[in-house]
Chain A
């Protein structure tokens, strides 16, 4: 059933008794052309584009929990394409372009809201680095503006410009950046893929990867063995665990990142803004809660929860940026487990094992990448070769030295 104001009216008339499931709950078939491990944003998007762009519909997405139980359902929903490095920048721009038409494409309102993203800077050196980044964006045709204090003041007069420690000098602004309703992205892709014939199978944990003659031939799951011709791993946060099932060792650590939401308040903050001295980013959701986040806790964790010192630190950064947050009350905090790669950039690549493909290492930036990641991963799986857009996101780059280190911190996962 196509969603529209008319279908909604029709159903309201019949007491909403006739809505069909947004997706089927199929039992797994014995074999698929492609199995995607991980029903997060990336896995679902991959299946969606496999079906839509490549006509490959005999596809299963296997998700160990409920749909969207991973990071797709627990992130701070910021989308942007303000990346510096040439291996990243066109990819994220592609993603932003896909976001721009996504809802009509998959017929689900994911509330893509291009409210603008501003990254503040506080020193000459930081400004120069942002200018370099902004110019790298502009050179590729991506929108970017540098805002001085004045322009920033017009936009957000409540910023702490004369902060006792780190005055705000200006910001790098991408107006096309913004937020998207996280859950709706998972649901929209799931529904879109399902309508095109993909089996989205929840509560089906992959426990092993079967190989024959060097090739992968299927997966062991909590619902039994499922055969397949190709496997795409998209198990963000658990990439190490699933890759190891095929004997693949990864340059990845799993870390917990916390996120937060305040009680709902009347419109208070129009755009997304990030602090430049510590990690802090904030936006207001359509429901009225201020959604914000900061740095990872810093220790390896698979626990989906963090500790109070990180919370306090994040909040301190928030108050340094916007003092009037003081009386906003934090309603809930939660955590997600992310792959932190050793250079802070993702991996979308073939592996040395035939028919096994890897999508991993998204750190805290993979939500914005969801459409392009699915799009590129689908391309890589369908053609057994990466697309130009993900050609730098190689697994062997650590070995060869062609790393993509946006934050320039080197081979230490928790610094990215």
Chain B
């Protein structure tokens, strides 16, 4: 684990608040007709199963109920980035930052004006 996940919305939480679905690296073939059976088989079954840096879909069931992409290391259990699934654009290009949970929660004191920064950007995409 990861024991602590820094949810971009809720801050640092223990992993028992999350549900883990698995590999996030693959794109769902766009729509019917676009994907061949092979592509679909690849999407549904084949796993890179990386030894090292990987990206997984986690759902913050016990918190904001958002699907997140957690980029972490499968050997050291270090966590590099946690991004909302809705805005995730593939593995973050950032160099492996040491954010093994020792960072304080991303949640600042409450923003009293406007809405969450992370999602208002989404409206335009």
Contacts and interface: CB of A to CB of B under 8 A. Distances in A.
Interface stretch (A176-184, A185-193, A297-305): A297-305
Give the bracket for the number of chain A residues in contact with chain B.
20 to 34
Contacts of A301: 1, 74-75, 77
Contacts of B2: 299, 307
A297 B37 CA distance: 32
A254 B1 contact: no
A413 B41 contact: no
Contact of B46 (A249, A300, A302, A306): A249
A241 B51 contact: yes
Contacts, number: 81
Nearest to A239: B49
B45 A411 contact: yes
A168 B73 CA distance: 40
B77 A300 contact: no
Nearest to B58: A299
A399 to B, nearest CB: 5
A342 B45 contact: yes
A397 B51 CA distance: 25
A301 B89 CA distance: 23
A interface SS class: mixed
Give the bracket for the number of chain B residues in contact with chain A.
20 to 34
B3 A414 contact: no
Contacts of B45: 251, 342, 398-399, 411
B46 A251 contact: yes
Interface in A399-416: 399, 411-414
A252 interface: yes
B1 A250 contact: no
B22 A412 contact: yes
A308 interface: yes
Given A301-B74, A303-B77, A414-B20, A250 B46 contact: yes
15 contacts: A240-B47, A251-B46, A253-B23, A253-B49, A254-B49, A297-B1, A299-B74, A300-B22, A301-B75, A301-B77, A306-B1, A399-B37, A399-B38, A399-B41, A413-B47
Interface of A: 240-241, 249-254, 297-303, 306-309, 313, 342, 398-399, 411-414
Interface of B: 1-3, 14-16, 20-23, 37-38, 41-42, 44-51, 54, 56, 72, 74-77
